[in-house]
Structure 1
Amino acid sequence: MKVLRFLLLVAAAALISTGLSALGMILPWLFGSMIATILYIRLVRRELFFPRWLGDLGVAIMAVEIGSTLTLDALMDMRDDLFNIFLMTILVLLLSLALSRLFIYLTGSTPETAILASVPGALSQMLIMAEEEKRADILLVTLTQMSRIILIVLIVPFVSGLFQPSSEIGAEPVAVDYISTIFIPEMLIIPVAAFAMIFLLQKINFPASLMLGPIIVLIIWNLTTGIEFSLDLVFINIAQILFGIRIGLQIASLMTQLNKRLIFSILLQNLILIFGTMFIVFIFQLFTVHQFNDLFLSAAPGGLGQIIVIAIETGGNIAMISSYHIFRIFFIIIVVVPIVGYYLKYLNRKRTQ
């Protein structure tokens, strides 16, 4: 019976997600499954059967898709503008981490919560770390990161539209084949190697090992084989449903803690981050030949998918904008996530002493 209830929840999540997708909502499969799970907890009021390994599987699938984006072409696009990409990434991250102090003051949250809520463009990674960190409030982290995506979609197109480039539209991104169309038996080594890497990273207590393991394996695959692919949408949607159910379960148990002060604090922090990024871009533009629209979309603290859609609509330089965001994603995952992880462990050790 418990398995049947779980299957009904998955069906409800798919139905709601399909509806949200038809309405054009951002991340419909993730949000749809979270909404379905919260409704289940509120209405059905029965224990939900959901093994943790299913949520882990969803995370691993998403990590494979992220890792597949770091191709040789993406590296070549980054090469000529690497210093600018690095400097812009550092400035935006420093701004976000500075705002974490404001977040602590406004919400009274722990440093763990404030840091994980503040890092931009890293929803999945920060939620995974929030799950692992006992002193982090996953509700605050989730709502802050998710509301930032919504604000990005509402505000960034308007700002970007005011500074549309007068020159020709940037090049279209290079199409990558779905794995189902180019599958070869040798690709079976990818999941095996990914789980082996996850196991190894967990053995050494490396932060966000579930996300980093598959990404490292895909980077090696892309650079050594030259066989590039993207996961079929059905895999990505399934991954978002599984991950969304896991996060929805945790949010549902914490909803009673939400109040007007927290809502105000979340909105204020995200608005300062967005407009602070705009100020950084104004200064940055004085020292580069890039147009404001391209720089702003490159620096905007949002997800790659949403920003690229906005870039296409406003005639942005797709290759440049993709390069900045791909670099930031991997910089956050490979550099920032471990540093944050070790810093949070340092805070825990300091408290126990």
Structure 2
Amino acid sequence: MKYLRLLFLVILSSIISIGLDFLGMIMPWMFGSLIATILYIRLVKNEFFFPPWLGNLGVAIMAIEIGSTLTLDALIDMKADLLNIFLMTIFVLLLSLALSRLFIYLTKSSPETAILSSVPGALSQMLIMAEEEKRADILVVTLTQMSRIVLIILIVPFVAGLFSSQGGVSEQVTEVADLSSVFEPRMLVIPLFAFILIFLLNKIHFPASLMLGPIIVMIVWNLTTGIEFSLDMALINVAQILFGVRIGLQIASLMPRLTKRMIFAILIQNLSLIFGTMLIVFVFQLFTSHAFNDLFLSAAPGGLGQIIVIAIETGGNIAMISSYHIFRIFFIIIVVVPIVGYYLKYLDKRRRTSHES
């Protein structure tokens, strides 16, 4: 019976997605499955069977599509844009940390909670730190980080769509053949090695392993074989449905926990972060030839998976956008997380010193 309910939701998601696609909505397959899931959970069935591996499969498929765009030429172009990538990452992170002060004022939360809630694109790592930090409210951190994903899905596609054909030169990657037209048996090593790498990265608790594993495998494939391909759109749509159901379940689970004050604080902080990022992008565009859509999606404070889906739907430069976000993931892991950890220890030490005196 639980499998029949799952099949029903997939069919419902497909029907709503097709309708949204007919109406011209951006990201219809993700929005359709997200809407269908929330409606199903709220109106039909509170408890719903959705194996985690299905949601993970949707993310992994998108990661393979991301990796397929990171060819040798794209990596060379990334090297030429390294200064922009670094500066954009720094400014977005500084903006998010500055807004943590606003979050403290609105929620009366601790600095630990505000900082861990504010850093963008590092959900798993921030939650791990929130668990370890006694003064951090893990519920608030989770709600803020997860709600940002929801706002990214709701707002960024429309902003990106407005500028998808405006401002600057959109450096599109050269079109390559679909997977179905170039498939050969040795390509089966791609999902095999992706699974192995995801497993190994999980073992060492490496953040974003589900995205980074397939991306790394695809980069190695592109550089060693020279056989380039793009996933068929039908496969990407399936991935969006699985991903949309996954996000929809998370949204449905969070809705009962939200208070009016928390909703207001989260909206103000995350909207300020999104539109503050737009301002940074407007300034950056004065000094580069990149299209606004590409720069905005490169800087947008969301998860890699969601942003790449938006990039595909709005005709963005996937290789450029993914390179910015991958750099930010590694920068947060290698630089920001240790600094935040050190700062939180400093705050704790300063409190204990003031209490003793």
Q: How many residues end up aligned between the 2 structures?
A: 333
Alignment of 1:124-163 (within 5 A): 126=123, 135=138, 138-155=142-159
Aligned residue in 1 for 2:236: 236
Out of 315, 322, 328, the position equivalent to 2:324 is 328
Q: 1:12 to 1:305 in 2, by over 3 A?
A: closer
Aligned residue in 1 for 2:181: 181
Question: What do the CA deviations read for 1:103-131 (whole angstroms, capped 9, x no partner)?
Answer: 35434678578646652xx5xx7489869
Contact kept in structure 1, 2:58 and 2:239, CA below 8 Å: yes
- 1:11 is displaced (CA, Å) by 0.6
Question: What do the CA deviations read for 1:202-245 (whole angstroms, capped 9, x no partner)?
Answer: 22222222222111111111122222222112222222222222
Distance, in Å, in 1 between the alignment partners of 2:195 and 2:280 is 40
Question: What do the CA deviations read for 1:316-345 (whole angstroms, capped 9, x no partner)?
Answer: xx7xx6665232121133443576777899
Secondary structure at the aligned position of 2:300 is classed as: coil
Distance, in Å, in 1 between the alignment partners of 2:56 and 2:170 is 38
Aligned residue in 2 for 1:2: 2
Question: What do the CA deviations read for 1:59-117 (whole angstroms, capped 9, x no partner)?
Answer: 22122122222111212222333222322232223322432443354346785786466
Report the TM-score when normalising by structure 1: 0.76
Distance, in Å, in 1 between the alignment partners of 2:248 and 2:278 is 33
Q: 1:72 to 1:21 in 2, by over 3 A?
A: same
Distance, in Å, in 1 between the alignment partners of 2:229 and 2:290 is 31
Q: 1:118 to 1:152 in 2, by over 3 A?
A: farther
- 1:196 is displaced (CA, Å) by 0.8
Which one is further off, 149-158 or 250-259?
A: 149-158
Q: 1:40 to 1:29 in 2, by over 3 A?
A: same
Alignment of 1:288-299 (within 5 A): 288=287, 290=289, 297=296
1:325 is aligned with what amino acid? I
Aligned residue in 2 for 1:301: 300
Q: 1:201 to 1:6 in 2, by over 3 A?
A: same
Gaps spanning 5+ residues in structure 2: where? 132-137, 302-306, 349-357
Contact kept in structure 2, 1:63 and 1:214, CA below 8 Å: yes
Q: 1:200 to 1:175 in 2, by over 3 A?
A: same
Question: What do the CA deviations read for 1:171-209 (whole angstroms, capped 9, x no partner)?
Answer: 654212211111111111001101111111122222222
Secondary structure at the aligned position of 1:25 is classed as: coil
Which one is further off, 42-51 or 67-76?
A: 42-51
Aligned residue in 1 for 2:351: none
Which one is further off, 256-265 or 20-29?
A: 256-265
Secondary structure at the aligned position of 1:205 is classed as: coil
**What fraction of aligned residue pairs are identical, expressed as a percent?**
53
Contact kept in structure 1, 2:177 and 2:228, CA below 8 Å: yes
Contact kept in structure 1, 2:72 and 2:223, CA below 8 Å: yes
- 1:46 is displaced (CA, Å) by 5.5
Contact kept in structure 1, 2:148 and 2:270, CA below 8 Å: yes
Contact kept in structure 1, 2:69 and 2:319, CA below 8 Å: no
Gaps spanning 5+ residues in structure 1: where? 313-317
Which one is further off, 65-74 or 242-251?
A: 242-251
- 1:47 is displaced (CA, Å) by 3.2
Q: 1:337 to 1:69 in 2, by over 3 A?
A: farther
Question: What do the CA deviations read for 1:8-63 (whole angstroms, capped 9, x no partner)?
Answer: 11111111122222223333222221221121122223532222222222222122
Distance, in Å, in 2 between the alignment partners of 1:133 and 1:177 is 44
Aligned residue in 2 for 1:54: 54
Contact kept in structure 2, 1:118 and 1:145, CA below 8 Å: no
Aligned residue in 2 for 1:315: none
Q: 1:237 to 1:304 in 2, by over 3 A?
A: closer
Q: RMSD over aligned Cα, in angstroms?
A: 3.9
- 1:269 is displaced (CA, Å) by 2.6
Q: 1:30 to 1:72 in 2, by over 3 A?
A: same
